[in-house]
């Protein structure tokens, strides 16, 4: 089943978008810990940090884990001090993009927690049982998992493949790279392993009617539409939040598939030249505060957080009303450098050692010092530093 979505007409913002960079009113916080640097070169195994997830141990909180994707570098698993405790390689031609946690999954006679990963290199999902006895991940993917979106291997090689990910129970929502498509997949056990089947798809808009009567579409390479990556499911409201990178943050009802924009990117509606240079002198003022790309989305209790990748800031909204509440940036501190150009984010309100009000983990796209090599990683932030509750 394919659910087509008509082109959206969105109301104008109150005024022109803010300039990029930290703004007055941003709360400046520092990270309590960081993971070892990952290097996206041959010597570093082409490891490029992207998206984190937090697994809370059901009995011993001190043995909880942070699991992060490293693209060609596979999965990296960290303890609460940021130390790497396990590394998992990708299968041949694999590239791990996003990761999320499923709790209480029934696998034969066993009820277990899973780390679910989008393998954008192979257009598949992969599954890792998190063993509470050892706090280690064990591959429980079926031998030949189905393709997520591609019709055959030739289409996989074009790399319009599984990208962003959000899970809840036996549901996995996966975005398709270079398109506006979301796929809804049902997870199921099969012979002690895990597989999945696609139920339906939803296509978000790729062009938009502006209040001045014109039509606008984000600039991109030929054949590439504005894609979604960062996603999170609000299990209380049965709502999916999806970050369409060059457009804005969507709120999508999982029952009806009706959707609305929580906030647009600052560049929304801005004209551009043939080489995608923005004509900011003619900004019509329809954009919001988020500077493209809008990226990692996560939920903590009554709060929704989203990454403004273009200016290395983060915005906090009321989970129920989506009212903007505050903004913050992670800056250099005594334990770790700051966070720049963040992709993924994950939060938990569980009481953890060193994090009595919960933990926020953020991807850092510009780790320093980098020794002259492209360096990325993850930063661990004490929730109390945000000053919210």
DSSP string covering 81-117, please?
A: TS-EEEEEPPPTT--EEEEEEEEEEEETTEEEEEEEE
157 pLDDT tier (thresholds 50, 70, 90)? very high
Q: What is the CATH number of the domain that holds 309?
A: 2.120.10.30
User: Token pair of 69, please?
Assistant: 């994707």
User: Token pair of 43, please?
Assistant: 């010597």
Beta bridge partners of 232: 241
63 φ/ψ angles, rounded to the nearest 5 degrees: -100, 15
Least confident of 11-20, 339-348, 372-381: 11-20
User: Token pair of 382, please?
Assistant: 């004490």
The verdict on residue 297 lying in a domain is yes
Which of 2, 1, 3 is closest to 259 using CA atoms? Answer: 3
pLDDT at 2: 38
Buried (b) or exposed (e) across 333-357, using 16+ Cβ within 10 A? beebbbbbbbbbbbbbbeebeebeb
Q: Judge whether residue 13 has pLDDT over 60.
A: no
Three-point CA angle 379, 381, 384, nearest 5° = 175
User: Token pair of 33, please?
Assistant: 């810990």
Query: Domain span at residue 158?
Result: 2-6+48-315
The verdict on residue 352 lying in a domain is no
Q: Judge whether residue 155 has pLDDT over 90.
A: yes
- Cβ contact 348:359 at 8 Å: yes
Q: How far is CA 192 from the centre of its chain?
A: 29
The verdict on residue 288 lying in a domain is yes
The verdict on residue 336 lying in a domain is no
pLDDT at 223: 87
Q: How far does the chain reach from its first CA to its final CA, in angstroms?
A: 43
22 pLDDT tier (thresholds 50, 70, 90)? low
Domain count of the chain? 1
Distance CA 363, CA 16 (A): 29
pLDDT at 18: 38
Rounded mean pLDDT of the chain?
93
The verdict on residue 20 lying in a domain is no
Distance CA 204, CA 221 (A): 18
The verdict on residue 99 lying in a domain is yes
Distance CA 378, CA 389 (A): 23
The verdict on residue 156 lying in a domain is yes
The verdict on residue 333 lying in a domain is no
Q: Is the pTM of this model over 0.75?
A: yes
Distance CA 264, CA 294 (A): 9
């Amino acid at each position: 089943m394919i659910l087509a979505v008509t082109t959206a007409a969105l109301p104008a913002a109150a005024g022109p978008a803010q300039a990029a960079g930290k703004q007055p009113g941003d709360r400046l916080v520092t990270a309590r810990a960081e993971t070892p640097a990952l290097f996206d070169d041959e010597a570093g195994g082409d490891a490029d940090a992207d998206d984190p997830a937090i697994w809370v141990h059901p009995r011993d909180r001190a043995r909880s884990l942070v699991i992060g994707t490293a693209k060609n570098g596979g999965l990296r698993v960290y303890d609460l001090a940021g130390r790497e405790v396990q590394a998992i390689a990708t299968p041949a031609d694999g590239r791990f993009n996003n990761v999320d946690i499923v709790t209480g999954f029934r696998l034969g006679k066993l009820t277990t927690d899973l780390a679910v990963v989008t393998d954008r290199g192979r257009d598949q999902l992969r599954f890792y049982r998190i063993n509470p006895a050892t706090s280690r991940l064990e591959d429980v993917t079926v031998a030949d998992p189905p393709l997520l979106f591609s019709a055959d291997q030739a289409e996989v090689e074009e790399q319009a493949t599984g990208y962003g990910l959000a899970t809840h129970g036996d549901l996995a929502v996966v975005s398709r790279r270079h398109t506006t498509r979301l796929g809804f997949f049902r997870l199921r056990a099969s012979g002690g392993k895990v597989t999945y089947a696609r139920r339906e798809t939803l296509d978000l808009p790729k062009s938009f009617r502006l209040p001045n009567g014109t039509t606008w579409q984000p600039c991109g390479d030929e054949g590439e539409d504005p894609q979604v990556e960062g996603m999170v499911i609000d299990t209380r409201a049965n709502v999916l939040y999806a970050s369409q990178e060059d457009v804005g943050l969507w709120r999508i009802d999982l029952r009806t598939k009706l959707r609305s924009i929580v906030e647009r990117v600052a560049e929304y509606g801005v004209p551009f030249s043939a080489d995608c240079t923005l004509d900011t002198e003619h900004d019509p003022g329809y954009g919001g505060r988020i500077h493209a790309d809008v990226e990692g989305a996560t939920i903590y209790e009554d709060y929704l957080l989203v990454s403004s990748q273009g200016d290395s800031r983060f915005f906090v909204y009321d989970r129920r009303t989506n009212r903007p509440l505050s903004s913050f940036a992670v800056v250099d501190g005594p334990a770790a450098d700051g966070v720049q150009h963040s992709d993924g984010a994950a939060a938990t309100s569980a009481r953890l050692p060193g994090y009595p009000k919960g933990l926020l983990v953020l991807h850092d796209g510009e780790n320093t010092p980098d020794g002259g090599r492209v360096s990325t990683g993850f930063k661990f932030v004490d929730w109390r530093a945000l000053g919210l509750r």
